[in-house]
Amino acid sequence: MSAILLQNGRVIDPSQQMDRVTNLLIDDGRITAYDAQPDGQETIIDASGKIVAPGLIDMHVHLREPGREEDETIATGTAAALAGGFTSIACIPNTDPAIDSQGTVEFIRLQAERADNCNVFVVACVSKNREGKELAEIGQLVEAGAVAFTDDGSPISNPELMRQAFEYCLMFDKPVLNHAEIRELTQRGVMHEGLTSLILGLPGMPVAAEDVMVSRDIALAEATGGRYHLMHVSTGNSVDAVRRAKRRGVRVTTEVTPHHFTLTDECLRSFDSNYKINPPLRGAGHVKGCTDGLIDGTIDVIATDHAPHSQEKKMQELDRAPPGIVGLETALGLVVTRLIEPGHLDWPDALAKMTCNPARILHLNKGTLQLGAGADVTVIDPNLRWRVDPAEFHSKSTNTPFVGWELTGRAEVVIVGGRIKFDRR
Ligand SMILES: [Zn+2]
Ligand SMILES: [Zn+2]
């Protein structure tokens, strides 16, 4: 493996509060030196005018394999991740079979190794077969390499199961990730319940469905000392509940998706199923609540909830189409265009939410450019303007509402373990 010298880039590494223009040397798969000078042997990458960041991490990705390879495979999902600038992703276990056994965890890891794109960390099921009844074999799954637990796709509805999950996962210092939704309150809902759903005559999903479960989970985390991570927060009230819980010292963290800080329920006026997402796109006030949470640090992480669905499935009527959109290849552009350019976040803050913060929550040895660290690096062109064209996607699915959007900022070179895995130049 030849050495790589990244020359004259603006190195932003929030894990060590670094933000300066320098030459970064990668050798033998590791970060080897700063301020290095070329010696004629290395592969040189001119990073002038570019940002050199720790490889991005997405802790919420649906890879669909095993079971729904028509939507995505581990190979195509990880290729999409690289194109989006991600060097590590965590995959969610609502596959078929669900990731609730050592064998399935091992299968994912093997397929990821074969694909040889980005790093894949496995999030395993909280309950056996995601049925919400009986706790999965948490200890065995940790042994197989699971980094966290969730039944996402479904909420953990039973509070006693949630309590047990917190207690068991605590023994292994793993977080429980929950999709907060009281299903009795959202039955048949296809969008956010509000004025727009009323005007369109579409069944709504009230904010209370999320807020009630978030409050429950915070109470259970507080009671057990467990580690709670709220997935895809979408309401201002839930952001505020997390903010207050953090102040009390509850071990709670949260993430928001790019679509939840970008789009509102008004988009559903088009009746386009690419705006059907769960949790649903909310009103402008909630978008502001999420943005405020990003700004004051209540929201730790930006995660995509990448949810590929074949065109055939998404083409159905709104009430039948499955919820969710692909996100890996538009996330960085939306962060730059909707958060950094308008001045909500600066580069170091935005990058922290896509590098060292998810690494800290999942206890990954990633998300840093410290000397000696494994060389996962993303070179970003912060000024590049580009148009979203799903025909260019590496993902097998193209269910995105951002077709034709002009975004700023894109990953240019992606290095995983010291090897150039993606190069758009
Ligand atoms: Zn979910
Ligand atoms: Zn999800």
- What would the pLDDT profile of 352-378 be if each residue is shown by its tens digit? 999 999 999 999 999 999 999 999 999
Cα–Cα distance for residue pair 90/177, rounded to 1 Å: 12
Place of tokens 């880039």: 9
Q: How many residues appear in the chain?
A: 425
Q: Which of 58, 305, 376, 381 is catalytic?
A: 305
- With a CB cutoff of 8 Å and minimum separation 6, the contacts of 3 are 25, 26, 27, 28, 32, 41, 42, 43
**Which ligand places an atom closest to the C-alpha of 326?**
2
Global pTM value: 0.98
Cα–Cα distance for residue pair 369/24, rounded to 1 Å: 9
Beta bridge partners of 218: none
Q: Identify whether the C-beta of residue 229 lies closer than 8 Å to the C-beta of residue 176.
A: yes
What is the whole-number distance in angstroms between the Cα of residue 309 and the centre of ligand 2? 12
What is the whole-number distance in angstroms between the Cα of residue 52 and the centre of ligand 2? 29
Angle of CA points 94, 254, 361, to nearest 5°: 80
What is the whole-number distance in angstroms between the Cα of residue 60 and the centre of ligand 2? 6
What is the whole-number distance in angstroms between the Cα of residue 61 and the centre of ligand 2? 7
User: What is the number of alpha carbons within 13 Å of residue 404 lying toward its C-beta?
Assistant: 1
What is the whole-number distance in angstroms between the Cα of residue 10 and the centre of ligand 1? 35
**Which ligand places an atom closest to the C-alpha of 304?**
2
- The pLDDT of residue 1: 73
Cα–Cα distance for residue pair 253/303, rounded to 1 Å: 12
Low-confidence ranges of the chain (pLDDT < 50): none
- The pLDDT of residue 71: 98
What is the whole-number distance in angstroms between the Cα of residue 278 and the centre of ligand 1? 6
Structure tokens at 29: 């798969």
Residues near ion ligand 2 (Cβ under 5 Å): 152, 305
DSSP, collapsed to helix, strand or coil, labels residue 90 as strand
Reported as a single tens digit per residue, the pLDDT across 288-340 is: 999 999 999 999 999 999 999 999 999 999 999 999 999 999 999 999 999 99
- The closest of 262, 218, 266, 261 to 238, measured between CA atoms, is 218
**Whether 305 is catalytic:** yes
**Which ligand places an atom closest to the C-alpha of 307?**
2
What is the whole-number distance in angstroms between the Cα of residue 323 and the centre of ligand 2? 10
What is the whole-number distance in angstroms between the Cα of residue 171 and the centre of ligand 1? 25
**Which ligand places an atom closest to the C-alpha of 63?**
2
What is the whole-number distance in angstroms between the Cα of residue 7 and the centre of ligand 2? 38
